[in-house]
A = this chain, B = another copy of it.
Amino acid sequence: MKITPVKGTADYLPAEVLVRDYLQSTILETYRSCGFERITTPIIEDIENLDKSEGGENLNLIFKIMKRGEKLEEAASSGNLKELADMGLRYDLTLPLTRYYANNRAKLPSPFKVIQIDKVYRAERPQKGRMREFVQCDIDIIGSDSYTAEVELIGTTAKALLNIGFDNFNIRINDRRLLKAIIMSAGFAEDDCDSVCISLDKLDKIDVAGVREELVEKGFDAANTDKLMANIAIKPFTLETAASICGELDCISNLRRIMELANTASHGKYSVIYDMTLVRGQGYYTGTVFEISSPEFRGAIGGGGRYDNLIGKFLGESIPAVGFSIGFERIAGILLDKNYKLPGKKPRMALIYDEETFPAALGHADELRHEYDVTLFEAPKKLGKLFARLEESGYDCCMVEGKDEIKHLGEKV
């Protein structure tokens, strides 16, 4: 039998779970204090819903659950491998949210400000930092097409990060429509914008020269490409720069309002910055997109955007929606690596008993629990060895039942 967890998943040790639980509950409480409401959906979804969803690459990473009993035998005899599964594990929280909203809409407020903190599954090729089972923390506002939704999402997400002690970050923002306008102003056709965006998304990896080369290799006109690259090279590229290229578009004044309000609300603790090169991978974004980045780490630690056509899919109508997701595993990993100190935790005490003092220790422990998290330990032959082990395991102090004195076990990490 195999004692390790399956590839790409983890057994978490008690000290890790303590930090992960604290982070999740602090994020959840922050979201709730800002008027968002948590829902939960099953980890399992209908396979057709998953297969037909707009998950892009993720559709190739679905863990599929086999049919059972007679239905499995029927499916197997059909010879069609696609028939074998009837359900799958969700690869994100957006498809379940879409289905949930359609299923429960009559019971939900509008706009619906919703929290999802839950596990998702992707059959990724396992590699460092890529898990097959991981937690996402999402907030979404469904049913509002106003810029106020973006302002609230940015403020609430930033507050959650600050509350867990993650304070060195900025939020970059862009609008798909503006990026598209800039690309088209260089002479590209509307239909080419998606392909150009996919290349632009690699700017931080292959730089302007690399992106230029890729675009030309893709067969795009060299003059148009050069014109686009020249615009991208402008530093700083502000909303005024964008306006001078494309004119005063609605999406520019929209971004301006969001940034102004979000930056006021930040009280200087973080900045919301326009980044004309920000793309975000998901194909379903229709307007604003945003991403959290930190000067201390490569890559995004959160992101989101507006996806006005997705939620209404099950209902056959258009419902505006915008969401912001925190990369929980990334942040938990960073904080655990930094020897994160859990705030406000009760000290841990070991109360040591022997056969005779166990009954008294039982009652005594309950009294001490007002002030300490108390674990009962049977006295071993050598107390000294136990003290050393307790200190190693993160206990703050210990006490031998029947003696009044509390022994402190030195400073804990």
A-side interface residues toward B, CB under 8 Å?
1-6, 9-14, 17-18, 20-21, 25, 28, 32-46, 48-49, 52, 63-66, 68, 72-73, 76, 81, 84-85, 87, 89, 99-100, 102-104, 107-109, 113-114, 119, 121, 123, 132-133, 144, 146, 148, 151-152, 155, 261, 264-265, 313-314, 346, 348, 350, 353, 358-359, 362-363, 365-366, 369, 373-376, 378, 389, 393
Contact = CB atoms under 8 A, between A and B. Distances in A.
A40 B65 contact: no
Contacts of A37: 14, 17-18
Contacts of A359: 261, 264
B63 A64 contact: no
B133 A43 contact: yes
Nearest to A368: B33
> Chain A at the B interface: mostly helix, strand, loop or mixed?
mixed
Given A38-B21, A265-B366, A373-B32, A148 B102 contact: no
A104 B99 CA distance: 39
Contact of A1 (B100, B104, B107, B314): B314
A3 B261 contact: no
A397 to B, nearest CB: 13
B3 A314 contact: yes
A77 to B, nearest CB: 10
Nearest to A112: B14
A6 B44 contact: yes
Contact of A362 (B49, B114, B261): B261
Contacts of A64: 65-66, 68
Contact of A33 (B52, B369, B393): B369
Given A1-B49, A6-B42, A81 B85 contact: no
Given A5-B41, A265-B363, 20 more contacts: A3-B102, A5-B45, A6-B42, A11-B39, A11-B40, A11-B103, A14-B37, A20-B40, A42-B133, A43-B119, A43-B133, A64-B68, A66-B84, A73-B81, A146-B378, A148-B353, A152-B362, A264-B359, A264-B362, A265-B362
